[in-house]
Amino acid sequence: MTIDKLITKAAGTVTGVLTESALSGLREAPTPCADYDVHGLCQHMLGSIYHSRAAALRQPGPEQQPVMDAPPWVKFPPELVSLSEAWSSPGALDGELEIVGRRLPAEFGAGITLMELVLHGWDLARASGQEIRFDDDVVARALAQVERMAVGMRANGGFGPEVPVPGDAAPMDRLLGVSGRDPHWKP
């Protein structure tokens, strides 16, 4: 399956955890992503969505961090639809693109988007006491992206130290461990 279709599937899965009943009152709650509480993680995700969408459309990214001017269960669903549409647009996966000042092959940039959706979707689900289940093909592609980027991400502080998981762990647990997340994290 092409990466744009995987992004659409992942965005739909993330949308499923963005409910008022799950996230209301959790603004300052901790997340598995140690640098962020729920509000900070949502703010980070919104910035990632805006930059990724702009890159897919070959437009300049936002000059300032976008503002969470509505609750995540209101703000994110249309943003995730727009992100999916951008990556599915003609030419989005062709050649190179610029994302946050870096020129990258478009497929690699799309892989970063998928990785962000899976990791931070899991972070939000866990922070709100929910389970999230991404399709196997989404997890496999996100795992490949995380493994490809892990050394650099650890060096720049984007990932914490690898969390060991059993050799026969599920792909999602391996993805989480490589990205520095404890698959068994609870709020």
Low-confidence stretches of the chain (pLDDT beneath 50): none
How far apart are alpha carbons 86 and 129 in whole angstroms? 31
How far apart are alpha carbons 27 and 11 in whole angstroms? 21
Q: Where are the domains of the chain?
A: 3-178
How far apart are alpha carbons 75 and 83 in whole angstroms? 13
Token pair belonging to 117: 């959706």
Cα separations in angstroms, 15 against 54, 141, 144: 20, 19, 23
Dihedral sign from CA coordinates of 89, 13, 135, 154 = positive
Cα separations in angstroms, 37 against 80, 129, 174: 21, 14, 23
Inter-residue contact 4 to 57 (CB < 8 Å): no
How far apart are alpha carbons 23 and 19 in whole angstroms? 6
pLDDT at residue 157 in the model: 92
Just give the CATH number of 3-178.
1.20.120
pLDDT at residue 7 in the model: 98
Inter-residue contact 8 to 137 (CB < 8 Å): no
Nearest-5° Cα angle at 91, 42 to 120: 20
pLDDT at residue 34 in the model: 83
